[in-house]
Structure formats: structure tokens, C-alpha cells
Amino acid sequence: MIDNLNKAYESFKEEISDLAVMPDVLNLKSTYLGKKGKISEILKSLKDATPEQRKEIGPVANKIKNDIQDIIAKKLSEIELKEINEKLAKNKIDITYTDSLKASNQKHGGLHPRTLIRQEIEDIFLSMGFEVLDGPHIETEYYNFEALNIPGDHPARDMQDTFWFKDEKSEEGNKHLLRTHTSTIQVRGMQSRKPPFRFIAPGTVFRCERTDASHEMVFQQLEGMMVGKDISVANLIYFMRQTLKEIFKKDVKVRLRPGYFPFVEPGFELDIECQVCKGKGCSVCKQVGWVELLPCGMVHPNVLRAGGIDPDEYNGFAFGLGLDRLVMMKYGIEDIRHLQSGDLRFNSQFKEY
């Protein structure tokens, strides 16, 4: 009988070594240890054995049963561990930041070149003691034209093709429009402060005109104004030169021409050498090699009066920087329409923060 038990034990060990899944192991367990299992069957003949034989067989049979149970328990836990590892390998979740939270194709945003330049210019003017002001996009005829010395019948109104709102007359007797320039903030700014003061006002402006490489219907300007006692054209030129030097980080060629704007007297056009073609002539500068960048002048007495300032006591200068043109000059952009295009191939080239 001991022989039979040992044989059964050996065959059990052989059979279990081939098994890989839990149900098979549990089946094998009942094949050997179950009520009608192989070991029980062998032990049935124990009733025919002598007491001496029983004494001998008993411990052997118990040991074999225990060993089989141990082997089965060990096998089951091995299989369980293997299954867990396989599951983990299949549903791999990496909770470290670099590999999982940061998706591999995630793109970083950046600031639009207009924003970069606007922030840079604001910093330059802030360091020269200027305030930064804002104003409404929807303006009245008064602030956009009349207060700036452009009455209703003035031919200068035709210089700026305007988007008018449909309202006939608003309550103040003013028609509404989308501001055609940031000069609207000149009078608003003067009305709410006492001289001496200096401020800039960057913002979007709107013109109803045909677009081309250097014209957009929606674009950006940056207005500037300084009012005080005994301010001269020399002050104006100094501030303009200083600003351009800081922006371009080098001396750029400029030229000053007389220019006509109803709100300044005398008025000037400050041109810079076209930085896209370096003065050779291209579509941006309309082949002349120069770009109108900074119209400016000494504030007209009527404009000071509209702002509540006595022109016999105070004077000042004003300028209107074409921000988009400046962006184009600084980065060598050949078509203004790229700025508004929303094209990521364009935008993603400016990734400074």
C-alpha cells in the first residue's frame, strides 16, 4: 500500500508540473484528495491491514496528503501571481507625470507676436513714466472725429473709411462707430487728468477698406500723448528715437517728413527703413524701401480745449504707432494678413513667454 501511495504521489507531482491554470489544479486536487480520489481509494484497503501495518501506513499516508496539499497551495499562489503580473503588464498605467499625464503630442502655447511687442513697448514707456490707458472699441462720432478737430464736413473724415452703426443719432446726438484709430483715447485721457501727464493707449482699430499685404480691416495701434509746459518737437523726436532703439535693439534708419493730421500742428510722418527688404523695395513697403510707422505731431489747440486743457498754458505731443507694422518690421513678416489668420504654422513660430 505504501508503494501505491508513493506511486500516486509521484504521478501527482508529474501531473501538476504541467498545469498552468487554476481550474486544472483544483480538478487535480479532487482527483487525488477528493472523497473518491486516488489517495482515498488506496486508503480504503486500510481496513484489511493489520494494526502494525496500519501504524506504519498511517504516518506515510498523512505525510503524502499534507505534501500534496502544500504543493497544490504553492501552485495556486504561483498561478495567481502570474495572472496578476500578466494583467498589470496588459493594462499598464504609468502614473508618473512625464509619461502619462503629459501626453506625448501635447503642444505648448505661446504669445502672439502682437502681444509680445505690445508688452515690450508698454514696458519701455512705463519705464519712461507713461501710464497705459484703454478705451472702448465702439465709440461716438465725437471722440473719434469732432473732439479731434475733424468736424462733420471735414474732408479728413474720408481719410479713414469708417464702420458706422445703424443708429441714426444716439442720446448725446452722436452716431456710433467702430473706432478708426486709438486717437479717441487722447481726449478721453485728457478729460480725466490734469497736466502734466503722459500716457500710451494700445488697442484694436477698425477700417472699412480693402485688404492687401499691408492693409487689414482690423489692426492694432498704439497711441501716445504727453502734455505739460514748454514741450517741443525736440522732446517728441527724442521719445520716438528712444522707443525705436529699444524695440529694435539697434539704431534703425528713420526719416521725418511733414504730414497732415487735423489733430496735430505741425504734424509729421516718421518712416523707418523697411526691415523686411532692408530698404530694397518689397510688397510691404510698396517698393519704396520705407514704411510709415509713426505719424506724430504737436497737439492742436482745439484738441487740448476738447480735453479741458488751456492751450495758452500747456502744450504737448501725440503719436500713433502702427503696432502691426512694427510687428512685421521686427519679425520680417511679409503680409499683414498672417497676423489675423489664426494659422498655427504662423503662430507657433513665436514661442517666447
Is residue 202 a contact point for ligand DAH (CB under 6 A)? no
Is residue 307 a contact point for ligand DAH (CB under 6 A)? no
Selected binder of ligand DAH within 181, 198, 300, 325 (CB under 6 A):
181
Query: How many residues at the interface with ligand DAH, by CB under 6 A?
Result: 12
Is residue 214 a contact point for ligand DAH (CB under 6 A)? no
Is residue 262 a contact point for ligand DAH (CB under 6 A)? no
For residues 118 and 202, give the distance between their C-alpha atoms in angstroms, rounded to a whole number: 7
Per CB under 6 A, which region of 59-67, 247-255, 260-268, 331-339 contacts ligand DAH?
Answer: 260-268
Opening angle at CA 34, ends 31 and 39, nearest 5: 75
Nearer to ligand DAH, 203 or 295 (CB): 295
Is residue 223 a contact point for ligand DAH (CB under 6 A)? yes
Selected binder of ligand DAH within 113, 295, 307, 316 (CB under 6 A):
295
Selected binder of ligand DAH within 177, 276, 320, 326 (CB under 6 A):
320
DSSP 12: H
Selected binder of ligand DAH within 113, 195, 297, 307 (CB under 6 A):
297
Q: Name 150's Cβ contacts closer than 8 Å, sequence gap at least 6.
A: 156, 157, 262, 263
For residues 326 and 117, give the distance between their C-alpha atoms in angstroms, rounded to a whole number: 8
Nearer to ligand DAH, 99 or 209 (CB): 209
Is residue 264 a contact point for ligand DAH (CB under 6 A)? yes
Residues 267-286 that bind ligand DAH (CB under 6 A): 267
Strand order in the sheet with 264-273: 131-132, 197-206, 218-228, 315-322, 290-299, 264-273, 254-258
Find, among 141, 216, 217, 151, the residue nearest to 184 by Cα: 141
Is residue 43 a contact point for ligand DAH (CB under 6 A)? no
Q: What SS3 state is found at 164?
A: strand
Q: Are 334 and 284 in contact (CB under 8 A)?
A: yes
For residues 222 and 181, give the distance between their C-alpha atoms in angstroms, rounded to a whole number: 9
Give the sign of the dihedral formed by CA 322, CA 325, CA 327, CA 330. Answer: negative
Is residue 183 a contact point for ligand DAH (CB under 6 A)? yes
Distances (CA, A) of 250 to 133, 238, 256: 28, 15, 18
* CB-CB neighbours of 297 under 10 Å: 22
Opening angle at CA 320, ends 314 and 239, nearest 5: 65
Nearer to ligand DAH, 4 or 340 (CB): 340
Grid cell listed for 120:
515690450
Q: Residue count of the chain, please give it.
A: 353
Is residue 261 a contact point for ligand DAH (CB under 6 A)? yes
Per CB under 6 A, which region of 4-12, 38-46, 240-248, 313-321 contacts ligand DAH?
Answer: 313-321
Grid cell listed for 17:
508540473
Nearer to ligand DAH, 296 or 304 (CB): 296
Is residue 318 a contact point for ligand DAH (CB under 6 A)? yes
Q: How far is the CB of 142 from ligand DAH (least distance, A)?
A: 15
Nearer to ligand DAH, 37 or 295 (CB): 295
Is residue 239 a contact point for ligand DAH (CB under 6 A)? no
Is residue 319 a contact point for ligand DAH (CB under 6 A)? yes
Is residue 243 a contact point for ligand DAH (CB under 6 A)? no
Grid cell listed for 189:
485721457
Q: How far is the CB of 103 from ligand DAH (least distance, A)?
A: 45
Per CB under 6 A, which region of 20-28, 101-109, 137-145, 312-320 contacts ligand DAH?
Answer: 312-320
Q: What SS3 state is found at 139?
A: strand
Residue sitting closest to ligand DAH (CB)? 320
Interaction site with ligand DAH (CB under 6 A): 181, 183, 223, 261, 264, 267, 295-297, 318-320
